[in-house]
Each structure stands twice: as structure tokens, then as C-alpha cells.
Amino acid sequence: MAEPIIDATLAGENANAYVALAAADAYFADTLEGREWLGFGREDRARALLSATRKIDEEFRYYGRPHDTVTPQALKFPRDGDYDSSGALRIPDGIRYATCELALHLLCAEKQPDLLDRERLQEQGVRRLSVDGVAEQYRPGVWDNIPRRVRKLLRPFIDAGGRTVVE
């Protein structure tokens, strides 16, 4: 399989990722997770970034509106007002970091899948599950499979009227 093409163009009409592979590699370079991230092949890391971006875009409603309302931008970020201190348009750090962290989570989950696909169970309407004396309860509208660190990074951008994220 060929390595997927990542287009991380700001407000791009064909953008498909918030973070380029080189930027994600740099994000993890000085972290304890860096060795784990680089342990996955380039193709898998690229696919994980695309999947993470898609999940971040599809799962929540965000404050504000997309930056470019004239030329359609493919992704939900940047939003109106997403500028750095010099006035340059940017993807907020929290969104970029959440994309990297979620990509690593997706890779690790694929390598060591849970016995239960909690997200699929919730989609099917399951509210409570008990297996071998261990019980779990699911709340409607909560994506329990998203790691806590990703939820914390996304929280400032999520519209209160959007999908609820609970700690």
C-alpha cells in the first residue's frame, strides 16, 4: 500500500489533516511517547493522522465558524480569529496536539485492540454492560474512547451546544 498523501494546507480546499507527518514526528521527538510513535511505519503514522483529523472534525461542533466562508475549506479549522501574535492564520496548538495524541492512540489501539468496541456498542444504543463481574455504564453523547489528554486539548474549542465531552 502506498503512503497516503497528507494535505495540511491552512484553510485548504483539499486539506485532509491538521498536522503534516514531519510536524507530528517533531511533536513526539522529545517525549516519552516518541519511540513508540516512530516505531510505527511512515504509512501507518500518516493514516493515523488522517483518521485522527477526521474523528476530530466529525465528532464535535466547535465555537465560531470556519475561517474561509468564500472558498470552502475542507476542515473545520482554522476558525475565524485563529491567528498567532503576528497576525498569521494558524491551526490552534490544542487542535494540532490533539490530532497527534489521537493518532498515537489509534495506532496503539489497533496494535492492542480492546476486547470490547465501546464506541460501536454506544452507537448501537447499549447503555450498560457487565462482563465477568466488571460493569460499565455509557452516557448518551459521550465518546468514552477518546483519551483524557485529547479531551482536555479539545475542550476549549467545543461549543457547549455540541457533543458533550465528560472527564
pLDDT in tens, 3-26: 899 999 999 999 999 999 999 999
Distance CA 61, CA 157 (A): 9
pLDDT in tens, 53-83: 999 999 888 999 899 778 889 999 999 999 9
Q: Quick one: pLDDT band at residue 41, thresholds 50, 70, 90?
A: very high
Question: Cell numbers of 46, please?
Answer: 500518516
Euclidean distance between the first and final Cα of the chain, in Å?
38
CA quadruple 63, 49, 105, 126: dihedral sign: positive
**Contact criterion met (CB below 8 Å) for 67 and 15:** no
Domain locations in the chain? 21-116+148-157
Residue 88 has pLDDT above 50, yes or no: yes
| Residue 17, C-beta contacts closer than 8 angstroms, at least 6 positions apart | 6, 7, 8, 49, 50, 53, 99
Distance CA 70, CA 162 (A): 24
pLDDT in tens, 130-163: 777 777 776 665 556 688 899 999 999 998 665 4
Burial of 85 (0-12, 13-18, 19+ CB in 10 A): exposed
